[in-house]
Each structure stands twice: as C-alpha cells, then as structure tokens.
Chains A and B, each alone.
Chain A
Amino acid sequence: MIGFIVLCIFAMLILLAIFIISNNDLAHSVILFMGFGLGSAVLFVLFSAPDVALTEAVIGAGTSGVVLLVTLLQISKKGRNA
C-alpha cells in the first residue's frame, strides 16, 4: 500500500516539475514549486526521514517560495505601476 502511494506521489511530482518548467506565468511556477516542496515533504515522511521532511516543509514549501514570490513582485513592480 505504501509503495503504491509513493509511486503516485512520484508521478505527481514529475508532473508538477514539468508544469513548473513549462509554465509561461512565473507566479504560477512559484506557487507550483511550493506545492512540489510539500509533495516531497510527504515523500520524506513516507521514507521515514521526518527531520528532513520538517526542513523541506518549512524551507521548500514556505520560506523559499515566499522569497521567490517577493523577488518576482519586486522585479515586476515597475511594469505593474506603469
């Protein structure tokens, strides 16, 4: 059962990675990237590595996504205001 769930998450992560790369809107890419971090955190829990999963959930799904999103906002601020 665990193996089936792990395979499903693997397929989902590959699909998400393709979406992240091929998306035209960078904001959508960043949101999908945060989802990718969450999925890999679940994968780490299933592989019995809870320490790494905690780090991945906080860093990958939280802080790095927010930093990327803020950077995106900053570089597109002039375009939005004009």
Chain B
Amino acid sequence: MNPKREIRVQTIVVSLLVSIMTILLLGILLSFQPLSGSLGSELLAINQTTTQSANAVTSVVTYFRGLDTLGEVTILFLSIFGIGLGIERLQEKENIFSYDNALLKIGADILFPLIILFGFYIIIHGHLSPGGGFQGGVVIASAFLLMFLAKNNELKLNHKITTLVEALSGAGFVLVGILGLLLVDRFLGNFLPLGTLGKLWSGGVIPLIYIFVGLKVSAEISTLVEYFIRIKDAR
C-alpha cells in the first residue's frame, strides 16, 4: 500500500466522523424545545426542590451552570500557569514589597488566622449567604498578601504544597462531576442527600464543589502574588 492511499483512508474516516457528528448536532439542535417562560424564573421555581440551597445565585453558578464554573476555573489556572512560565526564571529572593514596621508585623500576626478563618467561612457558607468558593479563596489569598507585606524574607510559599493543593482540588472538582455522571446520569449531578433549606448540611453537592473551587483559587492567587512580588528586574 503506498502512502498516498493511506492518507486517503484517514481522510475518509475523519470526514465520515465529522459528518456523523454534524448530523447528530443538527438533530439535537433541531429537537431542542425553547423554554416557555424566562430562564431565571424557571430556575428560581425549581431551585428549592432540586438543590435545597438558600442562595439561588450559588445554585445557578455551581449546579445549573457547573460546567461553566469548571471552564472559569480552568481559565484562571491557564492564566496563572502562563504567568508562572514567563516569570519563574526571573525569581529572586528579595521581597521588594515588604515594609519594616513593628506594628504591622504584630498586627499581621494577629490578623492572619482571622482572615483565613473568614475566608473558609465564606467558602463553607457559600450556599447559605452571599459569597462562595471564588470570593473566599481570594480572601484567603489576601491574608497571604498581608503576610508578604509584613514579613520581609521570612515567609516563602512552599510551591510543592501550593501545586499539590491546586492539582488535587482541580481533580476533585472533575471527580465530583464524573461521580455525578456515573450515579445520576448528569455531569456535576447531585448524588448526596439534600438536607433541609437553610441548614449548613444542605445543598447536596454544592458545598463540596465550592470547597474545591475555594482551595484551588486561594492557592492560585497566592502563587500569583508571590510571583509578582519576587520578580527580578527584567531590564
């Protein structure tokens, strides 16, 4: 068989697959029934029976549009990854952002655990009150920002730990999605007991997803801030 013929076989298979997928997509699109009312009122009407989450915004972000959140988390990961790829070679030990002040150091020591606690509160109560994984993660990262400001060179993030936390939480998000696909036939479907509305143990799979998102975002943003603080003069 000459190479020309082999290429032709590949081309035929690929074009066959593409045409099958196009026909499938056309069939799905043509059979799609538009919703009768507006999407927002429909989602609000089914929110309590499907998620038992007191914060309807959260249930839209993580449950009805959970795949979009996965995409957003991936975009954030890719941007931090790109910045790290460009900047990591330029790292130096000196922290130019720090400010030598006794009051700031003692205040940062007192405030650091409180800000971390507040961040975890926002993450864990995402399905009950305003906030959620992204906001709480950035609050935790701002605690690290305060420590970078107060401590001169004593504080350095352990990049092995931040990478591990980020990778494990990202994998956990996808794992929750795949478990939903296996157990209830829907990606990011709810396979946990729903609980009662307004209690901490409610919302099914939503708190789990938000804990993963919060850990991932906090690790990413603190790594980003450290990259910017410790960059060597490029000129």
B201-235 to A contact mask, C-beta < 8 Å, 1/0: 00000000000000000000100110011010101
Determine how close the nearest CB of chain B comes to the CB of A59; give it in whole angstroms. 6
Q: For chain A, residues 16 to 60, give those with C-beta under 8 angstroms from any C-beta of chain B.
A: 50-51, 53-55, 58-59
Of the residues A51, A63, A74, A78, contact of B145 by C-beta under 8 Å: A63
Of the residues A62, A63, A67, A77, contact of B96 by C-beta under 8 Å: A77
Which B residues touch A55, using CB under 8 A? 134-135, 138
The answer, yes or no, to whether B141 is at the interface (CB within 8 Å) is yes
**Contact B135–A73 (Cβ < 8 Å):** no
- Do A58 and B235 form a contact, CB below 8 Å, given A51-B130, A70-B229, A71-B228? no
Of the residues B97, B135, B235, contact of A54 by C-beta under 8 Å: B135
- Do A67 and B135 form a contact, CB below 8 Å, given A74-B233, A77-B233, A78-B233? no
Which B residues touch A62, using CB under 8 A? 138, 142, 145
The answer, yes or no, to whether A66 is at the interface (CB within 8 Å) is yes
- Do A78 and B235 form a contact, CB below 8 Å, given A58-B135, A63-B141, A66-B225? yes
**Contact A70–B228 (Cβ < 8 Å):** yes
Determine how close the nearest CB of chain A comes to the CB of B121; give it in whole angstroms. 12
Residues of B within 8 A of A (CB): 55, 57-58, 96-97, 122, 130-132, 134-135, 138-139, 141-142, 145, 221, 224-225, 228-229, 231, 233, 235
